[in-house]
Amino acid sequence: MSSLARMPWVIKYRPKRVEEVVNQEQAKRVFLPWLRQWLGGKPPEKKAALFYGPAGVGKTSLVEAAAHEYRLELIEMNASDFRRREDIDRIAKIAATQSSLFGRKKIILLDEVDGISGTADRGGLDAILELINNTRHPIVMTANDPWDQKLRPLRDASLMVAFNRLNERDIVTALKRICEAERIECEHDALKYIAQRSEGDLRSAINDLQSVAEGYGRVTLDLVRSLVVSRDRQYSPWEMLRNLFMSKYAWQAKRAITHTDLDYETILQWINENIPVQYSDPSDIWRAYEALARADIMLARIKRTMSWDLLSYVFDLAGPGVALSRKKSKFKWAKYQFPQKILMLARTKETREIRNAIAEAVGKRVLVSKRKFLSDVLPFMKIIFEERPDYAARIAIAYNLTDNMIKYLAGPRYQAVKEHMNMLLLRMEKPSTVSASATTRESKRKEAGRGVRSRSKRSGRGRQTTLF
């Protein structure tokens, strides 16, 4: 397959002219006169424009199309890079320098400025403001949500350009055009189905279209129904593996393993168990295990150092790393196996109930839905329990977790957590009870666990232990 054929369609079919950016007439009416003013040599009062609106509706595309159409040199930077001094300086220098008489005019794109709204990025925001003040070229920024309080100075300094969510018809039209260009047979109802699922995000619609078209050579409603998952749909482990091993592109593989409720370790275990089920060629198997092992090491390091920003590397290794290891094995319909390790745990049959009970006990207090708790909070809780028995002990006491829950969460570190709990509870008791035997300590713990909050409020004396 040529490299062009493998190019993601969202890139291949990016609008080249302003006119090709569909259904953003309002945005164009605001943006184009402002841009022409710049190009006419009279910088407008607001030297920057802020494009805002939902994902995948043409914000970045409009800047690129305008640059192309007006023959401007596009200086592009993801705004989250604004932490690095050398990047800021590089852009600032370009912005402050007038183009030479015969040189091409420039337009500066700072993509996704809402990514830098954190307090840690204060310096980045100031740098952007300074850039806007000194620029001699139009600056366009993009954001999904520009209403964050911290972005206010940027809003004040910018021409605000709103982008609309695209409707189903726009999306179907755009998809149809791609089907024709690719000479792929696409059923109208299939395109409608993709459009509905995309919730106005043309980028994701195009990605869905490509994954079905390239896997099957045509796009029918039946295929689309079984393959296209809605935004909030999560894959079962079997679906995850099927999607992972069928992936032709890195993004498909990554999507397969990031759209599931399973915790990170469980994902790796499922893949681990099924690499030899899916791949037959020894060199493929070797490469896949190599990638998976590196994912595993990375995950361990992340847990140890709590550097969660590295998590996406784990997904890169375990997803694309494994999927793209297949060079010689033919794709076959495999019957995936349940990981032995999980099977052993699940045999106690309690796991599910315990998870639900924890969600009940804790989820309510942290104000998230049960589903969200199980997918987003529980995995982290488990890691805390396995890695930091001292924190875990506080959590266990605060939420009054039962022994079974602690066993589930802490696994082999159960004893360590219990020891920390006992120590904490002792400290919370009055000094005279410190010498209590282990058994009375245990019953005190239960009692204390139940009443921690009310008691510390009521007594107002003695040593208070802060739980968080």
Ligand X SMILES: Nc1ncnc2c1ncn2[C@@H]1O[C@H](COP(=O)(O)OP(=O)(O)OP(=O)(O)O)[C@@H](O)[C@H]1O
Select from ligand X, Mg ion, none the partner in contact with residue 61, using the beta carbon and a kind-dependent cut-off of 5 to 8 Å: ligand X
**Measured from the CB atom, is 60 or 198 closer to Mg ion?**
60
- CB-closest chain residue to ligand X: 58
Query: Left (φ > 0), alpha (ψ -120 to 50) or beta: where does 334 sit?
Result: beta
Q: How far apart are CA 253 and CA 260, in angstroms?
A: 12
Q: Which does 56 bind (CB under 5 to 8 A by kind): ligand X, Mg ion, none?
A: ligand X
24 makes contact with Mg ion (CB under 5 A): no
DSSP code per residue over 143-187: ES-TT-GGGHHHHHTEEEEE-PPPPHHHHHHHHHHHHHHHT-EE-
209 belongs to the binding site for ligand X (CB under 6 A): no
288's tokens: 């896949």
CA angle, 131 as apex, 129 and 133 as ends, to 5°? 70
| Total residues in contact with Mg ion, by rule CB under 5 A | 2
Q: Does 60 bind Mg ion (CB under 5 A)?
A: yes
- Would you list the DSSP string of 374-430? IIIIHHHHHHHHHH-HHHHHHHHHHTT--HHHHHHHHGGGHHHHHHHHHHHHHHHS-
Chain center to CA of 67: 29
Structure tokens at 256: 């397969």
Which of 47, 56, 72, 378 binds ligand X (CB under 6 A)? It is 56
Element of type H or E holding 141 = strand 139-143
Interface segment toward ligand X; rule CB under 6 A; list 59-67, 80-88, 147-155, 426-434: 59-67
* Residue type for position 451: G
The listed partner (ligand X, Mg ion, none) that binds 252, CB under 5 to 8 Å by sort, is none
Q: How many residues does the chain have?
A: 468
**Minimum CB distance to ligand X, residue 54 (Å):** 7
Span near ligand X by CB under 6 A; candidates 198-206, 227-235, 369-377, 454-462: 198-206
Site for ligand X (CB under 6 A): which residue of 48, 57, 191, 378?
57
Using rule CB under 6 A, residue 321 touches ligand X = no
**Contact flag: residue 375 with ligand X (CB under 6 A):** no
List the one residue from 79, 91, 194, 202 that touches ligand X (CB under 6 A): 202
Shortest distance, position 202 Cβ to ligand X, whole Å: 4
Helix-strand-coil percent breakdown of the chain, rounded to 5?
65, 5, 30
State phi, psi for 175 to the nearest 5 degrees: -65, -40
- In angstroms, give the least distance from the CB of 429 to ligand X: 55
Among 18, 21, 107, 110, binds ligand X (CB under 6 A): 21
Write out the DSSP string of 21-61: STT-HHHHHHHHHHHHHHHTT---SS-EEEEE-STTSSHHH
| Residue 203 makes contact with ligand X by CB under 6 A | yes
Contact flag: residue 55 with ligand X (CB under 6 A): yes
- Cβ proximity to ligand X: between 173 and 280 the closer is 173
Main-chain phi, psi angles of 462, to 5 degrees: 70, -175
User: ∠ CA(144), CA(205), CA(246), 5° rounding?
Assistant: 120
> Rounded to the nearest 5 degrees, what angle is found at the Cα of 243, between the Cα atoms of 241 and 244?
60
Q: Based on CB atoms, which residue is closest to ligand X, 250 or 361?
A: 250
Q: Would you count residue 117 as binding Mg ion (CB under 5 A)?
A: no
How many binding residues for ligand X (CB under 6 A)?
Answer: 22
**Identity of the residue, 37 or 173, whose beta carbon is nearer to ligand X in the bound complex:** 173
Binding mask 109-148 for ligand X (x = CB under 6 A): ---------------------------------x-x----
355 binds, among ligand X, Mg ion, none (CB under 5 to 8 A by kind): none
Q: Is there binding between residue 204 and ligand X (CB under 6 A)?
A: no
Q: Which residues bind ligand X (CB under 6 A)?
A: 10, 13-15, 20-24, 55-61, 142, 144, 174, 202-203, 206
- What residues make contact with Mg ion under the rule CB under 5 A? 59-60
